[in-house]
Amino acid sequence: MSLHASDEPFFIGWSGKLPGSLGRFYLVVGLLFVSLFALLGLALGSQVDNPAQNLFAGLSSSPQAKPLGWQGDQHFEGALTMRPYPLLHVAPSDESGPQRTLLLSGYGKRGPEIVGSPTRVSAMGGLLKRGDIDMLVMDDPPTELAREIKAPVAQPMGHWKAVGEICDGKCYPGGMTPGGGLSHRACAVVCLIGEVPAIFVVAEPVAGSSFLLLAGPDGGAMPNELRPYAAKPLELEGEVERLGSILIFRVDPRKARLL
């Protein structure tokens, strides 16, 4: 019997070296897995809530520069309510359509400037939006309108317990990046002291809403006792009511529980 030379790969288990064809196979399979997981990560990341751009990122030495997070100067007319914070309820163009409620703030870390006691106003400013939160940062105090615009009536939604995080309603929808979490805690506290609307960003939607406007048991602004809890995982309990398109959470600070 004669022996012939062969070009077929010959595998020796103890040599520690793979045949060339097997090595190429493992390389291709490995690259496919890496590409697959990269595409999966991109797909999952695209579904994450957009925290918006930093409101101040586009500011430059030019006074005409507009912030990158700005959705443009816009004009709204609607009914103004003052508790727990000033809210603008924009009348729908179609009477059968839903009413849109905007949180209001001024520039910097302060709430809106309201002159007198207007109930029907025209307001101009930049709109910040994140999820179902609409925040209008006003250039100037709103001006009163003569025409009639009907204000919404609060509708009780029952007693709720909810888990979430106290944020300020300006930074969270895009005034700062990030607008939530412990890294934003100091900024959030200063905004809350400045009477920027306090919101409770919930872990699970409450009556279809991803956030609740915080109020005290009497329906006024969020109690000062809750400021130290800002940016911390928290359980709150109280009465929920719908006003326009947002939910108001009347909480008892004595029942707040850190998680």
Does the pLDDT at position 46 exceed 80? no
Q: Which one of 96, 117, 144 terminates a domain?
A: 144
Does the pLDDT at position 14 exceed 80? no
Angstrom CA distances, 68 to 1, 176, 191, 247, stand at 82, 11, 21, 29
Range of weakest confidence among 10-24, 49-63, 117-131, 242-256: 49-63
In a domain, 209, yes or no: yes
In a domain, 205, yes or no: yes
In a domain, 67, yes or no: no
pTM comes to 0.75
**203-230 confidence digits (pLDDT tens):** 999 999 999 999 999 999 999 999 999 9
In a domain, 251, yes or no: yes
The beta-carbon contacts of 85-90 under 8 Å, at least 24 apart in sequence, are 85/111, 85/169, 85/195, 85/197, 85/198, 85/213, 85/221, 86/111, 86/112, 86/114, 87/213, 87/243, 87/244, 87/246, 88/121, 88/123, 88/136, 88/142, 89/149, 89/151, 89/152, 89/243, 89/244, 89/245
Q: Which one of 110, 144, 178 terminates a domain?
A: 144
pLDDT of residue 69: 47
Task: Band the pLDDT of 1: cuts 50, 70, 90.
Answer: low
